[in-house]
Structure 1
Amino acid sequence: MDTDVVMDTSAEAPAPLDDVSLKRMILQFERKVLKNQEYRIKYADDALKFMETEVELFEIIQQMQVISTQPELYHVLLELNVLTTLLGLLVHENTDIACAVVSLLQEVCEIDDDDDYDKISPLLDFLIESQLVHLLVSNMQRLDETVKEESEGVFNSLSIIENLLDYKPEISKDCQALLTWLLQRLKAKLPFDGNKLYASEILCILLQNNDDNRKQLGSVGGIDTLLQQIAYFKRHDISTGDEREYLENIYDCLCSALLCCSVNRKLFFDGEGIELMNLILKEKKKGNISSMRMGAVKVINHLLSEDKGRDSVLEDCCNKFIEIFGLSSIFPIFLKPKSITIGQKKKEANVVIDDVEEHCCSIILALLKHSKPENRKRVINKFLENNMEKTERIVELHFKYSERLMKCDALIRKERAQKMANDESIDEDQIFARRLTEGGLFTLQIIDQIILIISKEPISKVENHGPSTSTSPLQPPKDTIKGTIMKSLHTHARIHSSVNHYKMIKSVMKEMAEDAEKEEKERILQLVEDF
C-alpha cells in the first residue's frame, strides 16, 4: 500500500477559521484579484494566458464561503475593505467570477439566527450603501439563464435582494431598475422555473405600500404585462404547485397596483382588464379555474376600491362591469361562495369563503355607490330576482358576521376586565383592529351598508309597484326589499330574542360614521335615519 496516499487521505480537516486565518485568506484573495487584472491587461488578446489566474480567483472565492459560518468574523471583512473588492468583481468580464461572488454574498447576507443579527447588520448596511441592488441588476441583465451556472446566479441575486428588502424595507423606494428587470423577466420566453416564480415574489414586495413603485409599474407597461400573464393561464391549465403560486403572486401584484391608484386603474380599464376578469369569472370548467376565479374576484374588488375624492375612472369601471354583464358573474358567487373553493381542503376553504364574501360584498357596494342611475337600478333589481333570494342572502351574511363580532366583543370584555384587575395597560387601537379583522367588523360594515342602501328602494318584485304608503319603518310592504329584510330580522328575533338586529345594524353604521369624513359621515347617517 502506498504510504503517501494513506497519509493524504487521513489528513486532518482544516483548523476552524479565526481572525488570523481569515486575514490570510483575504490577502490571498486580493493578490489573486490583482494578478488576474494584470494578466488580463498584459495578455488581452490571448485568453489562454490569463485563464489560469481566473481559475485561481474562482477557487479562492469559493473557499471564502466558509466565512458565512462565522458571522462573528464579518467585522474583519469591513475592516479590510474586502467587500469593495468583491463588489467590483460583479462587473468582471467572466460571468463565472461574477456569479461566484454573488453566491458568496448570498451566503453572508443570510440571517439564519436572530442572535447573529447584530453581527450581520453592519455588513448589510455597507452593502446597501454601496448600491448592491443596482450592481446585481446590472449583472443579471447580462446573464444567460439557459446556462445553469448563470441561472443560479440570477436566483442567488434575487435571494440577496429579498434579504436586503426584509432587513430594510425602505430601500424598495429606490428600486426602479430592479422593477423594470422583473417585468422583463416575467415576459421572457423561457420555460417556467424557480427564477420566474422568485421574480414574481420580489415584484409583490416592491409594490406593497409603495405608491411610487405602483406608478412606475404602470408607466413601463406593467399592467399589460400582468394581464398577459393571467391570460396565459386562462388558456393553459396550471400543472404544478409553483405555477399556482406564481399565478397568485401575479394577482397580488395586480391588486397592489390597482388599489386606490387612478392612473393604473385607467390603464387596466383601457387594457380590457375588466373584460378578462369577467371572462374568468364565467368559466365553469374544473381544474385550475378555482384559483383563477378567486384571483379575479380579488382584482375586481381592488379595482373598485374607493380613494379619497371623486374618481371618474372608478365610476367608468363600475359602469363597464355592469354593461358587460358582470352582475351575472358576481352574484352567483355571492350566493354560493363554495363554488369558488373546489378542490381545497375544508379548513382552507372556510378561510377562502370569508374572503370571497368580503370581496363580493365590497364589489356590490361599490356598484351601488358609483354606478350611473340606470346601472344602479340593475344592481337593485338583482335583489328582487327569484323571490328575493339575494336579499335574504345579504341578511344571512349579516347574521353570520354579527354573531362573529358579538363573540369577539365578549372575549375582549373578558380580557379587558382581567387587565384592569391586574392594572395592565389597554391598547384601544389594537382592540379596534382585532374587532375589524378577527371579529369580522370590516365585512359587517360593508354588509350593513348594502342593507341600508337597498332598503331605501321603494320598488317591489311586483312590476310597476308604487312607493310604499306605510309611514312605519317596521311595517313596509312585504314584497319590497325592505319588507323582506324586516321579515327576516323579525323571524330571527323570535328564535334569538336576546338580539335586536334592526338596532344592531343602525349601531354598526353609526359607529362607522364616527370615523368617516364629513361628506361620507352625513351620507351614512342619512341612510341610518331612513332605515
Structure 2
Amino acid sequence: LGVRCLAQGHLSRGIAGPRLEPTTLDLLLNRSNHYTVKKMILTFEKRSYKNQELRIKFPDNPEKFMEAELDLNDIIQEMHVIATIPELYHLLVELNAVHSLLGLLSHDNTDILNELTDIDTLHESEEGAEVLIDALLEGQVVALMVQNMERLDETVKEEADGVYNTLAVIENMAEFRPGLCTEAAQQGLMQWLLKRIKAKMPFDANKLYCSEILAILLQNNDKTRELLGEMDGIDVLLQQLSVFKRHNPATAEEQEMMENLFDALCSCLMLPANRDRFLRGEGLQLMNLMLREKKMSRVSALKVLDYGVIGPEGSDNCHKFVDILGLRTIFPLFMKTPKKMKKVGVSDKEHEEHVCSIIASMLRNLKGQQRSRLLSKFTENDCEKVDRLMELHFKYLEAVQLADKRIEGEKHDMVRRGEIIDDAMDDEFYLRRLDAGLFVLQLVCYIMVEICNAGVPQLQQRVHQILNLRGGSVKIVRHIMRVFLFYLNSMTLFLCKNENIVALQ
C-alpha cells in the first residue's frame, strides 16, 4: 500500500526516478498489496486468537486482556483499508479470516463488515465480492448478526450504531445478491425486524432502517411474504400504520418510514393468503378511515385498498368493503381527484388508476345485494357517475391517441432505416402506451362494459348517449377491451368474459 502511494506520488509530482511502464507499475502495486494485505490478515488472526484466549482464561479480570483488546482494535482499524481493494477479498477467505470477522460482531465491531460489503465496493470486483459473500453466508452471517442485535442495548449510542451498521451490512448483501433475502428472513431476521418495528421506543434512525430492510425482503418474494403472514406480520404493519390514521408524520424521516411500511403491506397483499389475513386484521376498516380522514396516509391507503381487492382472491374484501360503507368513501374520490394528491407527489393519473382499479375489482367480484348497491351508485343523481366515467374515457383516449401517433412516427422512421421491430420492441412500445394512460383507459372501458351488461337499461342508454354526443365509438371500446384481454392472458389482475363486450352493441 505504501508502494502505491509512493509510486503515485512520483508520477503525479514528476519526481525524478526510473520510469515504469503502466503494466510493470500495476504488477508491482498488485504484488505489494497482496503481500501487505496477507500480512495484515495474519496479524489480525493472531491477535484475534490471543484476545479470545485471554478472555476465556480471565473472564472476570478485564485488566488481563485489556492490552490484547487494544492490539486487536489497532489491527482492525488498519484492516479498513482492505475495503478499498475488493479484488483481494479472496485472501480473507483463503486465510480463514471470515470466521474471525464474524466473531467481531460480539465485540460491536460491525463497521468493518459494513465497509467490506459496501455496494459500490462490491461491484468494483464481482469475483472477489462473490467469494466473500459466499463465505459470509456459509458462516451463517445473518443468524449471527441477528443474535448480536438481540443482545445490544440501543439506549447506548455505541450499541445503537452497531445495530445500524449491522442493518447496513444486510442491505448491502441483499442489494448485491437479492436471492439471499429468503435465507436471511428464515434465519431470524424477519422475526427480529417485526419485533423491533413494534417495540415501544421513540422513533429513530434504526426504526426507519428496519422498515426499509423489511420492504426490501418482501420485494418480488412470495416466500418472505408468506413467512411474514405466518408471523402475524400483517397485524404488526396495521398496528404501526394506525398511528397515522388521524396524525401526519412529524418529520420527513417518519414519513419515509410510513411509506416503507405501506410498501411492505402492498407487497404482502400480492400473496393471496395474506389478503385473508388483511381482512381478519380489519385492514379494510383502517384503510377506509384513512381515506376519510384526509391525512397524508390517504394516498398510500388507496394503493393498499387496490392491492387488497384485486383478483378473485379479493372477493371477500370487496364484499366487506361494501358492508363497512366503503362505497361512500371511494366514489367521492372517483368523482373528483383531490388537489392535495399533487402536493404529496401523486399524479392525477396514479390516483385515478387506483380508484378505477378498485371499482373494476368490485364489479368483477361482487355478487347479490352488494353488487346491486354498487350499481345503484351509478344511477343516483341522474347518472352523474356515468358522466364522470365517460369524462375519464375521453381524457385517457386522447392521451393514448397522442402517444400512438408518436410511436407510429418512430416505427415509420425505424422501417425507413431498415431496422427490425421485434417482439421486445413491441413490448416496449406497449409499456409506453400504458404509461401514457392506456391502463386507466382499459379499466374505464372495463367498467363501461360491466355496467352496460348489468341489466340496468338506464346505464347502457347513458353510455351510448354520451358516446354519440362526443363522437365516440363502440368499436374503439371493443378494440381496447380485446387488447386488454390479450395482455391479461398471462396476468392475474382479473378475468373479463369475452361475451361481455357485446353488451355495448
Q: Give the TM-score category using the shorter length.
A: 0.7 to 0.9
CA deviation after TM superposition for structure 1 residue 319, in Å: 1.3
> Which amino acid is the alignment partner of residue 395 of structure 1?
M
- For the residues of structure 2 that align with 1:520 and 1:336, how far apart are their CA atoms? 25
CA deviation after TM superposition for structure 1 residue 76, in Å: 2.9
Matched ranges for 1:423-502 at <5 A:
423-429=418-424, 430-431=427-428, 433-435=430-432, 437-459=434-456, 480-493=458-471, 500-502=472-474
CA deviation after TM superposition for structure 1 residue 181, in Å: 0.9
The match for 2:482 is: 510
User: RMSD value over aligned CA atoms?
Assistant: 2.5
Larger RCO, structures 1/2 (Cα 8 Å, 6+ apart): 2
Q: Report if the CA contact (8 A) 2:306-2:358 is conserved.
A: yes
The match for 2:191 is: 180
- For the residues of structure 2 that align with 1:263 and 1:414, how far apart are their CA atoms? 46
- Residue 243 (1) aligns with residue 251 (2): no
The match for 2:263 is: 252
> Which amino acid is the alignment partner of residue 202 of structure 1?
I
SS in 2 for 1:439: helix
The match for 1:266 is: 276
> Which amino acid is the alignment partner of residue 483 of structure 2?
E
The match for 1:320 is: 320
> Which amino acid is the alignment partner of residue 316 of structure 1?
D
CA deviation after TM superposition for structure 1 residue 432, in Å: 5.5
Equivalent of residue 111 in structure 1, options 105, 109, 119: 119
- Residue 33 (1) aligns with residue 60 (2): no
The match for 2:163 is: 154
CA 1:328–1:528 in 2, change beyond 3 Å: closer, same or farther? same
CA 1:421–1:125 in 2, change beyond 3 Å: closer, same or farther? farther
SS in 2 for 1:338: coil
> Which amino acid is the alignment partner of residue 301 of structure 2?
A
- For the residues of structure 1 that align with 2:176 and 2:287, how far apart are their CA atoms? 36
- Residue 227 (1) aligns with residue 224 (2): no
Q: Report if the CA contact (8 A) 2:400-2:438 is conserved.
A: yes
- For the residues of structure 1 that align with 2:327 and 2:432, how far apart are their CA atoms? 31
| Deviations 1:333-370, CA, capped at 9 Å, x for gaps | 111122451644xxx34x2x211111111111111121
- For the residues of structure 1 that align with 2:410 and 2:434, how far apart are their CA atoms? 17
> Which amino acid is the alignment partner of residue 304 of structure 1?
V
Equivalent of residue 377 in structure 1, options 372, 377, 402: 372
The match for 2:360 is: 365
Q: Report if the CA contact (8 A) 2:318-2:361 is conserved.
A: yes
| Deviations 1:274-321, CA, capped at 9 Å, x for gaps | 11111111114xxxx1x31111111110001115xxx4xx32211111
The match for 2:33 is: 18
Moved more, 504-513 or 53-62: 53-62
CA deviation after TM superposition for structure 1 residue 203, in Å: 0.9
> Which amino acid is the alignment partner of residue 86 of structure 1?
L
Matched ranges for 1:322-337 at <5 A:
322-337=322-337
CA deviation after TM superposition for structure 1 residue 522, in Å: 9.3
- Residue 524 (1) aligns with residue 497 (2): yes
> Which amino acid is the alignment partner of residue 112 of structure 1?
D
Moved more, 246-255 or 74-83: 74-83
Identity among equivalent pairs (%): 42
CA 1:218–1:331 in 2, change beyond 3 Å: closer, same or farther? same
| Deviations 1:360-393, CA, capped at 9 Å, x for gaps | 1111111112112211111111112223221111
Matched ranges for 1:101-140 at <5 A:
102-112=110-120, 114-140=123-149
> Which amino acid is the alignment partner of residue 52 of structure 2?
Q
Q: Report if the CA contact (8 A) 2:349-2:437 is conserved.
A: no
Q: Report if the CA contact (8 A) 1:405-1:440 is conserved.
A: yes
CA deviation after TM superposition for structure 1 residue 241, in Å: 0.5
Equivalent of residue 61 in structure 1, options 76, 81, 86: 76
The match for 1:207 is: 218
- For the residues of structure 1 that align with 2:45 and 2:127, how far apart are their CA atoms? 27
The match for 2:172 is: 163
The match for 1:298 is: 303
CA 1:421–1:78 in 2, change beyond 3 Å: closer, same or farther? farther
SS in 1 for 2:497: helix
CA 1:222–1:22 in 2, change beyond 3 Å: closer, same or farther? same
> Which amino acid is the alignment partner of residue 448 of structure 2?
I
The match for 1:390 is: 385
- For normalisation by structure 2, the TM-score amounts to 0.87
- For the residues of structure 2 that align with 1:229 and 1:27, how far apart are their CA atoms? 48
> Which amino acid is the alignment partner of residue 288 of structure 2?
N
> Which amino acid is the alignment partner of residue 489 of structure 1?
L
CA deviation after TM superposition for structure 1 residue 523, in Å: 5.0
The match for 1:407 is: 402
The match for 2:26 is: none
> Which amino acid is the alignment partner of residue 434 of structure 2?
T
Q: Report if the CA contact (8 A) 1:388-1:484 is conserved.
A: yes
The match for 2:86 is: 71
Moved more, 296-305 or 30-39: 30-39
Query: What stretches of structure 1 move > 6 A for 4+ residues in a row?
Result: 518-522
SS in 2 for 1:448: helix
CA 1:37–1:387 in 2, change beyond 3 Å: closer, same or farther? same
Q: Report if the CA contact (8 A) 2:197-2:207 is conserved.
A: yes
> Which amino acid is the alignment partner of residue 209 of structure 1?
N
Where do 5+ consecutive residues of structure 1 fail to align?
1-11, 460-466, 468-479, 494-499
- For the residues of structure 1 that align with 2:68 and 2:211, how far apart are their CA atoms? 38
CA 1:521–1:156 in 2, change beyond 3 Å: closer, same or farther? closer
| Deviations 1:23-70, CA, capped at 9 Å, x for gaps | 232232122112112212222232221233223212321221122123
CA deviation after TM superposition for structure 1 residue 120, in Å: 3.1
- For the residues of structure 2 that align with 1:340 and 1:325, how far apart are their CA atoms? 24
CA deviation after TM superposition for structure 1 residue 171, in Å: 1.2
CA 1:375–1:405 in 2, change beyond 3 Å: closer, same or farther? same
